[in-house]
Structure formats: structure tokens, C-alpha cells
Structure 1
Amino acid sequence: MVTTLITVAIIAWLSQLALGGWQIWRFNRAFDQLCQQGRVGVGRSGGRFKPRVVIAVALDKDDKVCDSLIMRGLTVFARPGKIRNINGNYLEELKPDVIFPQDPLCQNALSLALKLKHG
């Protein structure tokens, strides 16, 4: 009985490692593509037991959003996606509370991503 429980725990742990690695690999591929498009700002919010949100925003030389990336969730099955309604907007036009009116975690992550250094 104890051997079975230990075996199940080891299988669950190895599965978590494999799926977590797969998630990181997918995020890194999407992030690399984003970095090729311009300057990138990244913001993250969430806690240990809250859904985490990671937002990255790519800006061109005119501080206009050319692409974005959002990843949110509690599990290793969260996938990177796009925030299509901000593409083409200038940095100073973006208002996190307007873009995500009902989602304070996304608002916080976007606010952090928009704090880009010029240059």
C-alpha cells in the first residue's frame, strides 16, 4: 500500500515537472516572437493561490503597440494568447482599467508591463 502511494506521488510529481516544462517552452517561444517585434514590457500579478497573469507588450519605435501576449491561469494548462484590442494603440492611450474593467489581476499585470524604459 505504501509503495503504491509513493509510486503515485512520484508519477504525479514527474507529470507536474513535464507539463510545467512544456508550458514554459510554449511561453518562451511566444515571448521570443514578441521580442523580435520591438521593445517589450512585462508585467506579472497574482499570488501563490490566485490565478497568475503574465502580460507582455511589444512597442515599435513610435511607442505604438505592435503585439501582445497574455497568459493566465492556475494550472500548467494555461496557454499564451493575444490581447487584440490594444494593437495599434499608443502607449499613453492604454488604460488598464478600461481594457480589463472586471479583472484587477489583468489590470495590475498590464500596468506593470506598460512601465517601459525609453531607449
Structure 2
Amino acid sequence: MVTTLITVAVIAWLCQLVLGGWQIHRFNRAFDALCQRGRVGVGRSGGRFKPRVVIAIALDDNNRVCDSLMMRGLTVFARPMKIAALNGLPLQELEPGVIFPHDSLCQNALSLALKLKHG
């Protein structure tokens, strides 16, 4: 019985490692593509038991959003997705409370990404 539990725990741990590596690989590919588009700001919010949110925005030479990505979730199955609503917006018009009115985690992540762009 103990051997079975240990075996199941080891298999679950190995699955977590493999799937976590797969998630990181997908995020890195999406982030590399974003970095090719312009200057990039990244923000992350969330906690240990809340869904984490990562938002990255790329700005062109005119300080307009030319691309973006968001990844949110608690599991290794979270995928990076585009935020189409941000494309073409000038940096000055990016207001996290207006863009994500009911999502404080996304507001926080976008605020952090914008702080990096102002610096």
C-alpha cells in the first residue's frame, strides 16, 4: 500500500514537471515573438491560492500597443492569449480600471506592466 502511494506521488510529480516545462516553453515562445514587435513591459499579479495573471504589452516607436499577451490560471494548462482590445491604443490611454473593470488581478498586472514602460 505504501509503495503504491509513493509510486502515484512520484508519477504525479513527474507529470507536474513535464507539464510545467511545456507551459514555460509555450510562454517563452509567445514572449519571444512579443519582444520582436517592440519594447515590452511585463506585470504579474496573483498569489499562492489565487489565479495568477501575467500581462505583457509591446509598444511600437509611437508608444502604441502593437501586441500583447495575457496568461492566467492556477494550473499548468493556462495558455498565453492575445488581448485584442489593447492593440493600437496609445500608452496614455491604457487605464487598467477601464480595460478590466471587474478584474482586480488583471488591473494589477497591467498596472505593473505599464510602470515598467514609464521607467
Query: TM-score category by the smaller chain?
Result: over 0.9
| Aligned equivalents of 1:114, 1:57: Cα separation in 2 | 8
| Aligned equivalents of 2:62, 2:112: Cα separation in 1 | 20
| Aligned equivalents of 1:4, 1:55: Cα separation in 2 | 41
Unaligned runs of 5+ in 2: none
| Aligned equivalents of 1:100, 1:20: Cα separation in 2 | 27
Matched with 1:16 is 16
**Corresponding letter in the other structure for 2:42:** V
- 1:26-105 map, 5 Å: 26-105=26-105
1:69-113 CA-partner distances (Å, limit 9, x unpaired): 000000000000011011000001111011101100000000000
| Aligned equivalents of 2:108, 2:96: Cα separation in 1 | 8
Identical aligned residues as a percent: 78
Across the aligned residues of Structure 1 and Structure 2, the Cα RMSD in angstroms comes to 0.8
Aligned residue for 1:36, secondary structure, equals helix
Structure 1 moving runs of 4+ over 6 Å: none
| Aligned equivalents of 1:45, 1:76: Cα separation in 2 | 17
| TM-score of the pair, normalised by structure 1 | 0.97
| TM-score of the pair, normalised by structure 2 | 0.97
Q: How many residue pairs get matched? A: 118
Matched with 2:111 is 111
Tell me the CA shift for residue 117 of structure 1.
4.2
| Aligned equivalents of 2:76, 2:32: Cα separation in 1 | 20
| Aligned equivalents of 1:36, 1:86: Cα separation in 2 | 17
Greater helix share, structure number: 2
| Aligned equivalents of 1:64, 1:37: Cα separation in 2 | 11
| Aligned equivalents of 2:89, 2:118: Cα separation in 1 | 18
| Aligned equivalents of 1:82, 1:43: Cα separation in 2 | 15
1:40-83 CA-partner distances (Å, limit 9, x unpaired): 00000000111000000000011000000000000000000011
